[in-house]
Structure 1
């Protein structure tokens, strides 16, 4: 995943509250291979239509509520959405979004933008701002999620950054507590030698 710090794009309104993950992508489409793209299934069973070329979606409160399906984020990303601006988000959706390069920008007054959209907006991740329509709005975002988006990281990448410290801890722990680590057999299976599995 490629990280990013700023994005300028076309913003469109999705003037709905409580858009849940089942509305974002109905479950029956989730058997489609991801390589085929999920963008065409976005909001499939709703009357809502997002104009082609939209990269920023401005929605109502509690966006992405419901189940933990990561496919909801895939549908947005595959459609071309880089950021969703809303007053609030489902917690699991927001975590999945950051892991997949999609910004969940929390702006309490997001709905005030609806009458003036579509329009071009610029997002600055480092500054935490959305600029356009003659104003600058600040958004809140967990710092870990901000780092993930800027660097293109997911949870595995965050852990891998500490590989040296993890290896040092493991070595030190093994030296201090050798009895806690099972002996390996000649095949390196990791099971204590001579014991049944």
Structure 2
């Protein structure tokens, strides 16, 4: 389960790159764990660090104005490439709760929704405006309102986005698929008991003869 996502008002960082693949988000050498925590320090590792591992001062997330970013605005086809869920884990562990782009890798977007990160697809022209704004005003904040399904700029412009109703329900309540199933635990138990009563022979132990 993840913290509920309702309305996020936070610093947004502009990553004006297209076709950012999951290997760029989290290089494969960091995929040696099955734990979701601890991967944030490796986010965009090849871009964040130069020779010898020193921080690259030119990379957007290394700049002081964007250090507290919880929203990332990128360009077309963000999250393409492999299906590694670790890429989303790294984003979430680094504090990124929302990525805005014109389009996303399909599997990456699905992984985001299952791990409490909201992928917001907006028209290319709108994303271009947001990228320009965030670059011109470092540290500018955006508001992402999931309940109302819009992104609000500092100037008051609202940009609506679409999200699957089931995914929205899960994000608003901080639920994953297992938690959604457990919400129906009483109904599942009732069904199993009724099924056992109707067909008890299906539940008998099978013993070798």
- TM-score normalised by length of structure 2: 0.81
Which residue is equivalent to 1:145? 167
More helix by share: 2
**For residues 180 and 137 of structure 1, what CA distance do their matches in structure 2 show?**
55
Q: What is the deviation of 1:53?
A: 1.0
Measured after TM superposition, the shift of residue 34 of structure 1 is: 4.0
Contact 1:43 1:49 in 2 (8 A): no
Quick one: structure 1 residues 96 and 180, their matched pair in 2 at CA, closer, same or farther if it must change by over 3 Å?
same
The verdict on how the C-alpha distance between 1:90 and 1:36 changes in structure 2, with shifts beyond 3 A counting, is closer
Deviation at 1:32, TM superposition (A): 5.2
Structure number with greater CO (CA < 8 Å, separation at least 6) is: 2
Match of 1:86?
Answer: 101
Cα distance in 1 for partners of 2:92, 2:179 equals 20
Deviation of the 1:195 alpha carbon: 2.2
Per-residue CA distance 1:85-138 (angstroms, 9 max, x = gap): 111222222222122221111212323311110421111110001101321111
* Residue pair 1:120, 1:132 contacting (<8 A) in 2 also: yes
Distance in 1 of aligned mates of 2:162 and 2:128: 16
CA shift for structure 1 position 70 = 1.3
2:150 to 129, 133, 136: 129
Change (3 A) 1:34 1:52: farther
| Residue 36 of structure 1: how far off its partner (Å) | 6.1
* Alpha-carbon displacement from aligned partner over 1:128-170 (angstroms, at most 9, x marks no partner): 0110132111111111111111111111011111112212222
One of 63, 69, 72 as aligned partner of 1:57 = 72
Structure 2 alignment gaps of length 5 or more: 49-58
Is the CA contact 1:5–1:125 (under 8 Å) kept in the aligned structure 2? yes
List runs of 5+ in structure 1 lacking aligned partners.
185-191
Contact 1:73 1:100 in 2 (8 A): yes
Give the length in aligned residue pairs: 187
Are the aligned partners of 1:85 and 1:107 in contact in 2 as well (CA < 8 Å)?
yes
Native 8 Å contact 2:36 2:93 kept in 1: no
